[in-house]
Amino acid sequence: MSRMNKLSSNIYNQYLRQDEAKLKLWRYAGLMLTYKCPAECEFCYYCCGPDKNGLMSVETAMNAWSGLIELSGENARVHITGGEPFLFFDRLLEIATEAKKEGFGCLDSIETNGWWAIDRKDITEKLRRLKSVGMDHLKISWDAFHAQFIDIERVRLLAETAEEVLGAGGVMVRWQKYLDGGMGKMNKKNRDEMYLEATKDYPCRFTGRAARGIAELVANKNIDEVTRSSCRSGFLSAKGVHVDPYGNVFSGLCSGIIIGNVSEENLAEIWRNFNPPECEFISELFGDSKRNLLVSAVESGYKVRGSYADKCHFCTDMRQFFFDSGQYRPIIGPVDCYAS
């Protein structure tokens, strides 16, 4: 099937003029093995932590994986992330093994915070096993946020050992400059300064847990500024999705806004049927402004803040309010993505 034919098999794309922006084919899927994590980073888009739950079944992973291949063929790329996927090493290995057996062959990377990296022999063994079932790259997360929870020596040991097993090109530390510079647990004042530096160095969006403390540190926009924007181009041009341990599908990095579930519908089918202007709640994010959502939230009791960091800060804050008041379920969910 040609690329154009494929694009027009999406229900939203079918009715557009040739010159209008189409919903892109999803090319990547981030499979979130779990929401559980030994860390609880202030910038976690998915609000992961020690008290969070979920463990992706092999079946859910294969549903998502095969659907992505159906959509994007050779261009499909899967990475496995969390939470911390090495908390459930056996399941991680099982999923990668099954994908290899199915001939999927596009496991791009596995992301970890290095918390588990204590013993060189154990690290070597685990990485060798994952390499033998197709893992190309190991991505190690390291910055001021992770430094509050993870010992830098573990991250260094992991990076060094991973390089021996996977080669220098097979390991990526995000961010190497913080690892080279050295960093550890900090008091609140130093921590806030480092967090501000980090958001300047590597701008991120203020969603998930980032919409709490960090967003408040940098908030300088009023409600008009953050509600007048549209997320249309973000939804249409998202290169891929994240799939959570329960099979919930999120567009790009928009955590906590469920656009489908791979346990109920194949990922390719979810893409074909995704019609943002017709979806409850999502249509309002897709529209020209978020004023209608704001009005509806305020009518239900949402208290507008004096300032916001960006549109995602407002979106997440408002969704937390809707989640707490039981509105827009099951689109706004699951519970793990929201503060309890």
Q: Crossing angle of helices 89-101/120-132, nearest 10°?
A: 20
Hey, which residues does 79 pair with through a beta bridge? 30, 109
Kindly tell me which of 72 and 113 has the beta carbon lying closer to ligand SF4: 113
Site for ligand SF4 in 177-236 (CB under 6 A): 205, 207, 231, 234
Kindly state whether residue 37 participates in binding ligand SF4, applying the rule CB under 6 A: yes
Residue 230 tokens, joined: 């549209």
Q: Does 39 bind ligand SF4 (CB under 6 A)?
A: yes
State which residue, 66 or 208, has the beta carbon closest to ligand SF4: 208
Angle between helices 152-166 and 120-132 (to 10 degrees): 40
Task: Indicate whether 114 belongs to the interface with ligand SF4 (CB under 6 A).
Answer: no
Using CB under 6 A as the binding rule, whether residue 82 contacts ligand SF4 is answered as: yes
Q: Does 85 bind ligand SF4 (CB under 6 A)?
A: no
- Select from 258, 315, 332, 337 the one that contacts ligand SF4 (CB under 6 A): 315
Does 40 engage in binding with ligand SF4 (CB under 6 A)? yes
Instruction: Choose, by CB under 6 A, the member of 171, 194, 312, 332 that binds ligand SF4.
Output: 312
DSSP state of 38: S
Preceding amide of 330 cis, omega within 30: yes
Cβ atoms of 290 and 229 closer than 8 Å: yes
Minimum distance, C-beta of residue 105 to ligand SF4, in the bound complex (Å):
26
Asked if 146 touches ligand SF4 (CB under 6 A), the answer is: yes
Window 49-68: contact mask with ligand SF4 (x via CB under 6 A): x-------------------
**Residues in binding contact with ligand SF4, number by CB under 6 A:** 23
* Alpha-carbon gap, residue 95 to 163, rounded angstroms: 23
Selected range binding ligand SF4 among 8-16, 77-85, 97-105, 163-171, rule: CB under 6 A: 77-85
Residues with Cβ within 8 Å of 76's Cβ and at least 6 positions away in sequence, in order, are 27, 28, 29, 68, 69, 106
**Is position 293 an interface residue for ligand SF4 (rule: CB under 6 A)?**
no
38 burial class (0-12, 13-18, 19+ CB within 10 angstroms)? middle
What are the tokens at 79? 């990475």
Q: Kindly tell me which of 146 and 156 has the beta carbon lying closer to ligand SF4.
A: 146
Binding letters toward ligand SF4, positions 147-166, x by CB under 6 A: --------------------
CA 259 – CA 229 distance, rounded (Å)? 20
Residue 258's region, left for phi above 0, alpha for psi from -120 to 50, else beta, is: beta
Among 34, 66, 141, 261, binds ligand SF4 (CB under 6 A): 141
Contacts 24+ apart (CB under 8 A), 328-334: 328/280, 328/281, 330/258, 331/257, 331/258, 331/259, 331/279, 331/280, 331/281, 331/282, 332/256, 332/257, 332/258, 332/281, 333/248, 333/256, 333/258, 334/244, 334/246, 334/248, 334/256, 334/258
Indicate whether 113 belongs to the interface with ligand SF4 (CB under 6 A). Answer: yes
| CA–CA separation, 207 and 42 (whole Å) | 11
In the complex, what is the shortest distance from the CB of residue 45 to ligand SF4, in angstroms, rounded to a whole number? Answer: 7
> Minimal distance in Å, beta carbon 13 to ligand SF4?
20
Q: Is 285 in the site for ligand SF4 (CB under 6 A)?
A: yes
Q: Would you tell me which residues interact with ligand SF4 (CB under 6 A)?
A: 37, 39-41, 44, 48-49, 82-84, 113, 141, 146, 205, 207, 231, 234, 254, 257, 285, 311-312, 315
